[in-house]
A and B are shown apart, each in its own frame.
Chain A
Amino acid sequence: MKQIIALLTLCIFGMPSAFATSNNNVEWAQSYALEANGEYEKAAAVIAPFMDRGEDSEFALIRYGWLNYLQGNQNDAIRAYKRALERNVRSLDARLGIAMPLMAQQRWKEASAYIEQVMAYSPFNYTAHIDLMACEEGLRNWEKLEKHASDMTAYYPSDATILVYLARAYAWQGKKDRAASVYQRVLLRYPEHLEASRYLNQ
Chain B
Amino acid sequence: MREKEKSMFKHLYIVSSGIALALIAAQPQLHASENDWLVSTDLTTTYGNYSGSVSRSSLISSGLVLRADYLEKGGFALGGNYTVLSAKGGANNINQQGAYASGHYNLYFDALPGPLTLRLDAHAISNNDLSRNTDNVSVFAPQLSFLNYGKNFYFDLGYAYSTYRNNLKVQQFTPTLGFGFNDGADWIQARTYLIKPSNAARAQNKSSTTALDAKWMHWFTPGSAMMPEKLIVAGLAGERIYAVDGDAATVYNLTDVQRGSASLGVQWKLSADTSLLLMAGNEAYSNNLINNRYNNRFAHLNISTQW
Of the listed residues A74, A86, A109, A140, the one surrounded by the most CB atoms of chain B closer than 10 A to its CB is A109
Instruction: Determine if A113 is an interface residue (Cβ-Cβ < 8 Å).
Output: yes
Q: Chain B residues near A106: list those with CB within 8 A.
A: 72, 149
Of the listed residues A89, A113, A117, the one surrounded by the most CB atoms of chain B closer than 10 A to its CB is A113
B44-81, CB < 8 A from A: 71-73
**Which residue of A76, A108, A113, A143 is within 8 Å of B31 (Cβ)?**
A113
**Which residue of A86, A110, A140, A143 is within 8 Å of B73 (Cβ)?**
A110
- Judge whether A113 and B221 touch: CB under 8 Å: no
- Judge whether B108 and A74 touch: CB under 8 Å: yes
**A82–B115 CA distance with the chains assembled, in angstroms:** 20
Instruction: Determine if A107 is an interface residue (Cβ-Cβ < 8 Å).
Output: yes
- Judge whether A172 and B221 touch: CB under 8 Å: yes
Using CB atoms, name the residue of chain A closest to B72.
Answer: A107
Known: A72-B110, A172-B222. 20 other contacts (CB 8 A): A73-B110, A74-B108, A76-B110, A85-B30, A86-B30, A105-B108, A105-B115, A105-B149, A106-B149, A107-B71, A107-B72, A110-B72, A113-B33, A113-B35, A113-B36, A113-B71, A140-B184, A172-B221, A173-B222, A174-B221
Instruction: Fill in one digit per residue for A72-95: 1 if any B CB lies within 8 Å of its CB, else 0.
Output: 111110000010011001000000
Using CB atoms, name the residue of chain A closest to B73.
Answer: A110
Q: Chain A residues near B221: list those with CB within 8 A.
A: 172-174
Please list 24 pairs of residues, one from A and one from B, whose beta carbons are closer than 8 Å in the complex, sorted by A's number: A74-B108, A75-B110, A82-B28, A82-B30, A85-B30, A86-B30, A105-B149, A107-B71, A109-B36, A109-B38, A109-B71, A110-B72, A110-B73, A113-B31, A113-B36, A117-B31, A140-B184, A142-B222, A172-B221, A173-B221, A173-B222, A174-B221, A174-B222, A174-B223
**A173–B109 CA distance with the chains assembled, in angstroms:** 34
Q: Chain B residues near A142: list those with CB within 8 A.
A: 222
Contact residue range for chain A?
20 to 34
Q: Chain A residues near B30: list those with CB within 8 A.
A: 82, 85-86, 89
- Judge whether B272 and A108 touch: CB under 8 Å: no
**Which residue of A73, A74, A109, A140 is within 8 Å of B72 (Cβ)?**
A109
Rounded to whole Å, the gap between the CB of A107 and the closest CB of chain B is 4
B-side interface residues toward A, CB under 8 Å? 28, 30-31, 33, 35-36, 38, 71-73, 108-110, 115, 149, 184, 221-223, 272
A102-152, CB < 8 A from B: 105-110, 113, 117, 140, 142-143
**Which residue of A82, A86, A143 is within 8 Å of B272 (Cβ)?**
A143
A-side interface residues toward B, CB under 8 Å? 72-76, 82, 85-86, 89, 105-110, 113, 117, 140, 142-143, 172-174
**A74–B72 CA distance with the chains assembled, in angstroms:** 15
Interface of A is mostly: helix
**A82–B12 CA distance with the chains assembled, in angstroms:** 35
Q: Chain A residues near B110: list those with CB within 8 A.
A: 72-76
Rounded to whole Å, the gap between the CB of A177 and the closest CB of chain B is 13
Q: Chain B residues near A74: list those with CB within 8 A.
A: 108, 110
Rounded to whole Å, the gap between the CB of B229 and the closest CB of chain A is 12
Q: Chain A residues near B33: list those with CB within 8 A.
A: 113
Q: Chain A residues near B223: list those with CB within 8 A.
A: 174
Q: Chain B residues near A75: list those with CB within 8 A.
A: 108-110
Rounded to whole Å, the gap between the CB of B70 and the closest CB of chain A is 9
**A75–B109 CA distance with the chains assembled, in angstroms:** 7
**A73–B30 CA distance with the chains assembled, in angstroms:** 22
Using CB atoms, name the residue of chain A closest to B28.
Answer: A82
**A48–B280 CA distance with the chains assembled, in angstroms:** 60
Rounded to whole Å, the gap between the CB of A105 and the closest CB of chain B is 5
Q: Chain B residues near A107: list those with CB within 8 A.
A: 71-72, 108
Q: Chain A residues near B108: list those with CB within 8 A.
A: 74-75, 105, 107
Of the listed residues B108, B109, B184, B222, the one surrounded by the most CB atoms of chain A closer than 10 A to its CB is B108
**A76–B110 CA distance with the chains assembled, in angstroms:** 9
Q: Chain B residues near A109: list those with CB within 8 A.
A: 36, 38, 71-72
Of the listed residues B31, B35, B38, the one surrounded by the most CB atoms of chain A closer than 10 A to its CB is B31
Q: Chain A residues near B36: list those with CB within 8 A.
A: 109, 113
Rounded to whole Å, the gap between the CB of B77 and the closest CB of chain A is 18
Rounded to whole Å, the gap between the CB of B238 and the closest CB of chain A is 35
**A110–B35 CA distance with the chains assembled, in angstroms:** 11
